[in-house]
Structure 1
Amino acid sequence: KAFFYQSNELMKKNPDKRFAVIRMDIYHFKTVNEFCGRQEGDKLLKYISELFQRYIGEYAVAGHLRADIFTLCTKFEDEQQLIDISKYIKKEIDSYEISCKIIPAFGICTNAGNLDISLMCDYADLALNRIKGKVFRVYEFYDTDMREKMLFEKKIENDILPALKNDCIKTYIQPKVDMRTGRIVGGEALVRWQREDGSMVYPDEFIPVIEKNGYVLDVDDYMWDKVCYYIKQLEKKGKTPVPISINVSRMHVYQEDFIDRIKKITSKYDINPKLIPLEITESAFTSEESSLYRKIKSLQDCGYRFSMDDFGSGYSSLGMLKDEHVDEVKIDKTFVDDIATDKGRILLKNVIQMIRALGIDMIAEGVETKEQADFLVNNGCIYAQGFYYYRPMPIEDFVLLLEKSGKE
């Protein structure tokens, strides 16, 4: 409290001067206490506190707010001065003799509009958290873009559950086709958010936010229910439905009731589990593998199929392919795009051959040209989805498309 009061008073008394907050935090400080002992951890904190106190003066206030959080409110002439302070403290911490690696990060907020010190600290904290744990990033400045992003994410958090309640979350389907004939063999369910004023919130804007706050579980449940409902409607009309794969977030997979949730939704509509292949991104297979594999095997034993989405997008999952944990691999769009180069063609050709040799089904994502389609078919990959065939469409339109193709 003393730090906040003194800092606010300092800025009020000197309205003609520029002030900034430098906030420092140590990445995983708890491990210092665990590996080096609490006594050594306390000595380190005392040392850092002394570093900050060196800057206390007529126009500067320092504070040790809690645990490993240190803050300095200081007058400055230019941003380089603030960078130099951060780098100096970092250099002194690096030279401190201790058997643990210490990784400090600094968030900096300049007072551009008579901000209260507590708000400046919050903004500095936002900047700090952008780089916390990144060894090669020492400091980060708070800027208006960061604030706009924070406000946007907060709006997403506030609006997502009402959007579900008011049917503003829409289920779109991108058809999957047999490239040899153009016949629709399935689809992938994709989430879209249409606000009540008709404007769209795009998936890459809201999905990362709801994955962080857990609302992705609610959206997943909503999408699964919609897909199963429409599959059942087709069956009631005497039509033969095609499988519509549903995306399963990494957060959902690690929920204890994941298996029960999936079974409950197919039981509710009494549909064959094979009609809703479960798509999990390749990155999900790289953590807590044993738990994930047990759940996959349990659901496979009940007739569900698993598809690895974004195969080849940056994570290594060859071991998973060897152990037969998936029924299908979705070849990432980056492989398809690269057929314009000799190396790209060689790589994609061999990826297809490897998947075929392992006896795993495959489908190519992001097919946009005839050249890409021809290359894939000629090398043994016959199923695809992409703009060359169909763009994602409302699930109602997809159902009409299936009914129309069934009559032809």
Structure 2
Amino acid sequence: MPDQDYASTLTSLGFQPVQPIDQKLRFGLETIYSAEPSLRIENAFEQEAGDVRLVIATISYRPSSGQNSRSVRETIAYFEAPDLRFADFRLQPKGVTGSLLGSMFSMVGFQPVHVPGRDEFNETYLVISMSPDSTRRLLTDDVVDAIMTRRDLAVRSSGPRLVISRSRTVLPADAIKDFVYTAQSVMAPMTSAVRDAMASGDWAPRKEAFDNATQVGGLAGHLLSGTFVKPEIVEQFLEQSPPRVVPPEIMRRQVGYGSIFFYIWGGMFFVIGSIFVIVFANSEELPGWGVLLLGLIPLMGLTAIVLTWRYRAARKRLLRQGLLCRAHVEDVQPTSVYINNQRRYKVRMRIERDGSEVEKKINAYGPEVETARMHIDNGEPTRILVDPQNENRILWIDSLMPAIERPRQST
């Protein structure tokens, strides 16, 4: 619970307590702090003006640098405006921690960002981003001047969200008012800069990040190429009429090689089990019921082979024969399930088919969740493939691509 002075200070500034912590705030902060596990939110107070939201809260997390296994706590200002698209970047004071952070993130494709003509700022702060050109457009003179009023600010951004903090510091009540004013003095010119950039017509920070990572290669390029399919490949695939020729990139992503293991496993059980059954049946060393029990081994292998074949055939049929339908993302809700350290989310969609609408829920993880949120924020429809033989089997085809800026598509 916040102390009385902390609460009264924020209340006097027009903030209201956030009770309980809502899922949208939790998702937004989990997105920005995706590299830091064990995120917790407390003492949250908010101001809202339409869809625009400013939250002051205390958070705790484990630092991604790995230099300290203990949790870090800090007071943050969280800003969210669904109609804005910031370039994803991180800013923090230089020093041992900053240098370590820069070295670590450079290994996975992040690049340092230098602001021309602002040597003092460049010497004081480390800025890293996978879209350095877009980030540089946000660091206008007004933004840099606001940040330079202090030497201990940290800034993170992701999509429509921005977080400002005093670099791993929990602020006392008597410092909250000054912190709110400082955060607002940074947010105001930065939101103005991103609005100007978006109005220019060439604002595409996520596309820049994706292009840079795939061109540079390294760990980031390898991860992205294995996680996403290039948009032009997906668009060319969808331009075909069924039966489609499936590009290897899409086939590998959807069918994969993992299921081949079950062919091998099933084949081994079937062959070895069959040999045992034949040998013991001819030797009469086992009673009849024993031979029948041994017969379960090749039966298990055969079952694995058949189920794997059916699974792969169904996935291939969905890609080749699937009906392309328009869908609208309605909601994203977290679950308590984690797979490979990624929280499972349920994405609720309205799918348009044959003049009617059907509601479906699908599982989503990591970047797929961000894609779903992007469609909710901008209101744009997305695309689904529906199996003509089983309408419950669907594929969210747009989730194969990275959540980057691209023109509206029609079905």
TM range (shorter): under 0.3
> Normalization by structure 2: what TM-score?
0.22
> Normalization by structure 1: what TM-score?
0.22
The structure where strand makes up a greater share of residues is 2
